[in-house]
Structure 1
Amino acid sequence: MIQSVKVKNLSLSKDNVRKCKRAVSVEAMAASIAAQGLLQNLIVTPLKKAGTYTVKAGGVRLRALQLLIEQGTLPADHEVPVLVLADEGGSVEASLAENFNRTPMNPADECDAFKHFIDKGASAEDVAKRFGVTTRFVEQRVRLAELAPAIFEALAAGEITLGVAQAYAVTADTDRQARVFEQMKQSYYGNQPDNIRRAILNGTVKANDAKARFVGRDVYVAAGGRIEGDLFAQDTGDENWTDVDLLEELAAKKLEAAAAELAQEQGLAFVTPIAATNVPYDMERQLHEFHATARPLTDEEQALVEELGTENDALVEALNTELEEGTPEAEAANDRLEAIEREIDEIETKRRAIDPAVKAQLGTFVYIGNDGQVRVHARMFSEKKVVAPNAPVGNPGGAGGVDEVDHGPRYSAALVDELATQRRQILVAHLASDPAIALDLTIFLMAQDLVFSGSYVRDHSTLKASTAQMPIFAFRDEASMASQTIEDQRQQLDTSWVGHDTMSARFDAFRALDDQARGAWVAYSIAQTLEATLNVADGGRVNGFHDHLGRLLGIEVAHWWRPTFENFFNRVKKDVMLDALEEIGGPILRGRYKDAKKTDLATTCGSLCNGQGIVEAEIREKASAWLPDAMRFDGIEKPERARARSSFVTDADEDPELDDDDMSDDPDLAGDDDEHPTHGDANGEGEDYSQAA
C-alpha cells in the first residue's frame, strides 16, 4: 500500500541488500531530487512505534532526502511516498529485486540525455548541478555524443568500451575519427585506447611544444589556428594544436623578424633563422667559423681589475666572519659584490669587442630554444675568409712574392735529425719537471686539435684529442637531450684564444684564461675522445670501464633516453618486448599482450615506456624508468686475458710466464699502427685557421 510518510519518521534498515558503496553518491542523488523531485517511492516496513518505518529499499534516496532537509532545501516535515510491506521476508526480497534487476544506463544514453539539455539552452554548469555531477563530466559526455555516427553507434551497441570512445573523442574532427575507426577495425590491437589516441593525434602539436610556446596561443588562435582540448586526459590543461602548417608559418615569420632585428642591432652581415631547436651541423660546416681575439687589458683596466678583486675578496671575508646574514650591512655588501661583478663583466666585454669593419663580414644563427624563447648561436661565422682592414701588410719579395728569409747555415739531414733530437730531450726534461705548464700544454693541445679539426696545424706533438668516430657514418642525433647538452657545452667554451695567428700567441692567451675556463676545455676535450660502447655480453662494444665511469658520474639514463617504437622496440624480437613487459608489470602484463602482433606490441611498449599507456599508476611509474640492460651502466670490467705489460718495470720485475705471444690471438689487444693518422701534408704549409670546428 502506497502512503505518504514524513522523512523524519524513516530510518535505514540493516536488511537492505546493498551493503557496498554505490557509484551514485548521496550528493548526486540529492541534486537530482532537488531538481526533479522523488521519482521513485521507497519500500518500507512498519516499526513497533506507531507512524515510524524502516526503509528496506531506497537507502541512498533516504540519505539524500535527509541531506536536503539538513541543508534547508526541503522543510523539516517533508513527506514522501512509500510502499508499506507488512511481511518482513517479503521486504528483503523486494530490496533484492529492486537492486538485482536494475540495468545500468548505457553510456551512449547518458551522452544523449546530457546533450538534450545542452541543446535546449542549458549550460554545462546548470546540467551538472541538476544531476549532481561535475561540469567536466557533463562536457565529456557531450563530447562523446558528438562522435562520428559509426563510433557512437558502436558504443551504444556495446561493441567498443567507454575508454575506446574517449580515445576517439580527443579530437572533434569527426571525419578523422571515422577514418581512424575504419583503420583500427583492420588492426589486431585496434581496440587499445593508447594506440587509437596516437593515431588520432598524428600530425598535431602539443601546447608545450617549443614552436607552440614560441608563437603563443593567442597569436595562433587569432591567425585561425584550431585547438582541441583532451577532455579525457589526466592533465586538464592538455591541448592539441591541429593546424601544424599554420604554426610552422607563424614560427618562421616571427623568427625571421628576430633575425632581421638582431642583424641590424649588431651590425652583422647576416643572421640566418632556423625554425628548430638546434642549428644543423651541416649548415655550420658550409661557413667559416670566426673566433675573435681578446685584446690585452690596458694599464688602467688592469689596475681597476686588481682593485676590484681586492675589494671583492675583502667583502667575501667580511660576510663569512663579521657581517650577520640579513642585516643592512650584509645586504649592502652583497649588493656591492654584484656591482663589482658587473664592472668586471663590462671590462671583459670591451676587451672582446669586435672591430665593426670585421663584424660587417660576420653572421650567426637564431633558433628556438626548448623553452620557446629565441636563442642566438654563441659562435660567429663568415661566408668567406675574414679580411681585417687594419691588419699589417707583408713585404713581398723574391720569386712569387714570398718574403726573403735568411735560414742561416745549411746543415746535413743527419745533423738536423741529431740536433733536433738533442733539443727535444732538453725540452722534455724541463717540461716534465714543470707540472703547471705541462698541464696547460696538455689542455691546449687537445683543445687546439678539436678547434682546428678541419685544418692541419703543425704542432709537433703526438698528443691528440680528436672526436671519436660514431659507429654509424654521418650519425646525427641533435634532437636528443644529451646531444643538445653537448652542443650547449660547446657554445659555452671560451674561444677568445683561438683567433691568434701563431701557436705561441694562442698558448699564451689560453694560459691567461681562468681555471674554470681551462677546466671546461679539458672536460669537453677528453669527453669527445670516448668511443661508443654498450653494456652487452661480448663483442667489440664491451667496455666495463665506461660502465664504471657512468656509475662514478651518477648517470640516470632514464632521464636522458627512453626506448621508443622507432629507436628500440621495433628493432628487437618479440620475446625481448614481452620480457620487458614482464619486468615492468609481472606475468599478468606479459600475458595481456602475448598474442599481439609484433608491430602492435612494439607500439604499445614504446607508448608505455614514455608514460602514455593507460595502465595502473604503479606500472606506469616502473615503465617510465625501464631500460634495456644494454643501456644501463651496470657492467663490471673483466680482467684482461693477457696482462698489460708496463714499460716502467724492469725485465726482472715482470712475470716470467707472461709472453708476447699471449696477446697475439686477441684482436682487441693487438696494436693499431694507424691509430693516429697524420693531418695531411707533412710539410704543413699554410695553416688555415678559418676552418675551425
Structure 2
Amino acid sequence: MAKDFISRGDLRLIPLAELRLSPLNSRQEIAAEEVEAMAESLAVAGLLQNLIGHLTPTGVEIVGGGTRLRALQRLAAEGWSRHEDLIPIDPVPVKVTADLQEAVAWAGTENSARSALHPADEVRAYAAMRERGASLSRIARSFARSEAHVERRLKLADLPAEALAALRANEISLEMAKALTLAPSGERCLEVLGSVRGRDVRPEQVRRELTPGTVPSTDRRAVFVGLEAYLAAGGTSQRDLFADRTLLEDEALLDRLFAEKGAAEAERIRAEEGWEWATWVPEEYVSWTVTQKLVRLYARPGKLSDGEEAELAALEEREADDTLDEPGRARLAELEARREGGFTDAQRASAGIFVYCSSRDGLSVERAYQQPRAVPRGAAELAPDLPQSLIEDLHRIRLGALQARLMDQSELMLDLLAWSLGGGLRPWARPLAISPTDQPIVPEKGEGTSYPPRLAARLEPNASLGPDGTPAEFEAFRAQGKKHRNQILTEALARTFCTGSSGLSAALARQLGVEVRRIWTPTAQGFLGRCSAGYLDRLWNELVPAAEAEPAHQSFNKLKKGEKAKRLEALFADPDTREALGLSREDCAKIDAWVPAELGWPEGEE
C-alpha cells in the first residue's frame, strides 16, 4: 500500500477509502448533527486542515481529525453532489507517523500539534459558508468555535479584499485588521490601509483616527445616561466588536442628556433630603474652585444611650453570624444611622449640595455648603465675628501644629506615604500632597514582556538623588545611614501633609495630642485685632472671672477695639497683667490652653 502514497515528508495524500478511525482517537462517539455540520463546512470551504494518522502494518489509522474523516465519508457516500461546485476531497492530506508513542501524543494533543489556520483563511472560510446561507450558529458548530469568535471573524470578512490580502500577506497584523473594521467606508479603509501597510503603527492610533469625536459606551457620561436613552433621543452609534464596546457618535447630544439627567437627579435629591439648593457639577469631582468661597457645614455626630449601644453590638454580632432577620436589619440600620448622626433640619434649610457623576461610584453627592451671609453696608454690627481671611489663617496654623508633631513620627509618616501612594485612594483623598507619576515601562510592542503587576502599576521617581542624580551623590546620601535617611524623609513628608474631608486629620491630632498653643499665641496684630469687638468682649468675660475682676470688666468694655486687642494680648503673654487681675493658677492654665474653635479638632470634622 505504501507504493500508492504520494510522499511529501510526513504529509501524504491517501485515498479516503483506505483511511479508518484509530482506537487511539479520543472521540470514538460523536453526534450525527456534529458530523453533518462538519460535512457542510467541508462542502463549502473545503478541507482547511489536514488529518493526523498512525501508519500501521494494515494501513493508516486516523488519530486526529475523526470528525472530519466521518464528514468526508458522508460526502463521498452522497457522491460529492451536495453543491454543484463541490470538488471531491479524495485523496486526503494526512500527516503520518509510524512511531506509536508519537501517535499517542498526537491523539491527546491534536489541537496543539497541528499548525494554526491563518486568520485570513479562517475569515474567508466563514464568509463562504455565510454566502451559502449558513447561520452564525451553524458556522460556529462546523468549526468548533464560539459564536462570538465567528461573529468577529465575519466582521473582518466585510473588509475590502485588498485589506484581507494584506492580512494574508502579513503586511498588517490581525489587530490592525480589527482596527480597520471601524472605517466608515471602504474608501476610507483603503486610504488608512495605504498609510499603515508595512509600517510600525499602533492599532489603537488607527482606532482613534477612524473614530474621531466618538465616545465609548464605558465613558461615565454614557453609563449615567444609558445607551437606550441615548439611542431613543436620536443618537447614533457603532459597535466595536473587538473592544466589546459601543461607540457613541453624537457627543453633543450625549452631553445634553448628561446635563439634563444630572440636573434632574440633583433636584430629586434636594427635594428628598430637604436642602435649600442643589447644583449639578458635570465634572468628575467637585473642584476646590467651586467651593472655595462657600462655608463648609459638617454633620452633627449622633449619640446612643448605653442600652442602645449594647443593642447595636448584639445586632452587629448576629449580622456577622448571618442570623439577623428583616426586622433586626431594619433596627440595625436605624441605630447605625442615629449613631452616625447627620445634618440638622436648620442646616438643610440654609445650605446646599453638589451632585456629580464619577467614573468609579456613579451618581455622587458632596454635602454640605452654605453661601456666606451678605453684610449690608453700614450694618457693622452684623459682620461676622471672624472674617474669612482670619479663619483661613487659623486653619493654616492648625495644620502647622499637626505638621510640627508629625516631624517626629518617622514610622507613622512612612505608613502615610505607603497608603497615599499605594492605597488606591483618589488623588484628592490622599493625606499627603504627593502626586505619584507612573513611568512608561511598557514597550509599544509588549509581546514576551510580562512585568509583575506591582512594578507596572506604579513607579514613583526617586527624588532623593538631588538635582543631578548622579550615582556618587546617591552613594554619599546612603553613607549617612538609615537614621539620617528616615529623619530627612519624615520631615519632608510631614511638610506635605494636607487636610481632607474624611476625619483623618482630627483623628491623628487627637492620637498625637497636638497642642496648637505650643506654636501659636493670640496677638493683637495676628488674631485679636482682626476679630469683632463683641467677640473680644465675650473672650475677656470667658477668661477673666467676674467675681475677682468686676472693675476690670467695666474698664475693658469702655475700651476701643484696638485697645481691647492690646489688653487681651497682655492677658495671654504678660504674667504681671494676670497678677494684677488676681487670677488663680487654674485661671492662668485656662488662658494658656485657650484656642478659638477654628483651631480645634471637633468630632466629625476634617
TM-score normalised to structure 2 length: 0.52
Cα shift at 1:378: 0.8
What SS does structure 1 have at the residue aligned with 2:345?
coil
Q: Name the counterpart of 2:69.
A: 65
Once the two structures are superposed, the pairs formed by residues 197-276 of structure 1 within 5 Å of their partners are 197=207, 199-200=209-210, 203-233=213-243, 237-265=244-272, 268-276=275-283
Amino acid of the residue matched to residue 60 of structure 2? T
Summarize the Cα distance change of 1:333–1:401 in structure 2 as closer, same or farther, 3 Å threshold.
closer
Q: Name the counterpart of 2:60.
A: 54
Q: Name the counterpart of 2:484.
A: 639
Pick the aligned partner of 2:398 from 465, 468, 473.
465
- Measure, in 1, the Cα distance between the counterparts of 2:147 and 2:282: 40
- Measure, in 1, the Cα distance between the counterparts of 2:166 and 2:277: 59
- Residue 289 (1) aligns with residue 295 (2): yes
Cα shift at 1:284: 1.6
- Residue 684 (1) aligns with residue 530 (2): yes
Pick the aligned partner of 2:332 from 327, 335, 338.
338
Q: Is the 8 A contact 1:545 1:637 kept in 2?
A: no
Q: Name the counterpart of 1:627.
A: 459
Amino acid of the residue matched to residue 312 of structure 1? E
- Measure, in 2, the Cα distance between the counterparts of 1:292 and 1:462: 16
Q: Is the 8 A contact 2:437 2:460 kept in 1?
A: no
User: For structure 1, which segment, 134-143 or 167-176, has the greater mean C-alpha deviation from structure 2 after superposition?
Assistant: 167-176
Q: Is the 8 A contact 2:279 2:354 kept in 1?
A: yes
Deviation string for 1:67-93 (max 9, x for gaps)? 999xx9999xxxx965899xx99xxxx
Q: Name the counterpart of 1:455.
A: 389
Pick the aligned partner of 2:353 from 342, 358, 364.
364
Amino acid of the residue matched to residue 252 of structure 1? A
- Measure, in 2, the Cα distance between the counterparts of 1:640 and 1:324: 47
Cα shift at 1:218: 1.8
Summarize the Cα distance change of 1:7–1:45 in structure 2 as closer, same or farther, 3 Å threshold.
closer
- Measure, in 2, the Cα distance between the counterparts of 1:159 and 1:629: 39
Q: Name the counterpart of 1:313.
A: 310
Summarize the Cα distance change of 1:184–1:244 in structure 2 as closer, same or farther, 3 Å threshold.
farther
Q: Is the 8 A contact 1:47 1:54 kept in 2?
A: yes
Q: Name the counterpart of 1:549.
A: 414
- Measure, in 2, the Cα distance between the counterparts of 1:168 and 1:311: 65
Summarize the Cα distance change of 1:631–1:247 in structure 2 as closer, same or farther, 3 Å threshold.
farther
Q: Is the 8 A contact 2:182 2:210 kept in 1?
A: yes
Summarize the Cα distance change of 1:167–1:551 in structure 2 as closer, same or farther, 3 Å threshold.
same
- Measure, in 2, the Cα distance between the counterparts of 1:265 and 1:381: 18
Summarize the Cα distance change of 1:176–1:82 in structure 2 as closer, same or farther, 3 Å threshold.
closer
Cα shift at 1:341: 0.7
Pick the aligned partner of 2:126 from 107, 114, 122.
114
- Residue 279 (1) aligns with residue 283 (2): no
- Measure, in 2, the Cα distance between the counterparts of 1:81 and 1:189: 42
Cα shift at 1:62: 5.3
Q: Is the 8 A contact 1:214 1:372 kept in 2?
A: no
- Measure, in 1, the Cα distance between the counterparts of 2:160 and 2:129: 20
Deviation string for 1:10-52 (max 9, x for gaps)? 7899xxxxxxxxxxxxx9999534644696799999976xxx4
Q: Is the 8 A contact 1:207 1:240 kept in 2?
A: yes
Q: Is the 8 A contact 2:140 2:147 kept in 1?
A: yes
- Measure, in 1, the Cα distance between the counterparts of 2:322 and 2:454: 49
Summarize the Cα distance change of 1:174–1:680 in structure 2 as closer, same or farther, 3 Å threshold.
farther
Cα shift at 1:219: 1.3
What SS does structure 1 have at the residue aligned with 2:359?
coil
Higher RCO (CA < 8 A, seq sep 6+): 1
What SS does structure 2 have at the residue aligned with 1:191?
coil
**Structure 2: any 5+ residue segments left out of the alignment?**
5-13, 26-32, 78-88, 99-113, 428-434, 465-473, 489-518, 536-595, 599-604
- Measure, in 1, the Cα distance between the counterparts of 2:21 and 2:152: 40
Q: Name the counterpart of 1:163.
A: 175
What SS does structure 1 have at the residue aligned with 2:389?
coil
- Measure, in 1, the Cα distance between the counterparts of 2:188 and 2:404: 47
- Measure, in 2, the Cα distance between the counterparts of 1:528 and 1:641: 16
Deviation string for 1:355-376 (max 9, x for gaps)? 78xx2x5433211133464322
Deviation string for 1:359-399 (max 9, x for gaps)? 2x543321113346432221123265399xxxxxxxxxxxx
TM-score normalised to structure 1 length: 0.47
**Structure 1: any 5+ residue segments left out of the alignment?**
14-26, 90-101, 388-399, 404-451, 468-524, 532-542, 570-575, 582-588, 590-603, 605-612, 644-672
Q: Is the 8 A contact 2:280 2:355 kept in 1?
A: yes
C-alpha RMSD of matched pairs (Å): 6.3
Deviation string for 1:179-234 (max 9, x for gaps)? 7556657xx9743335444555664434333222211222123234344444334x
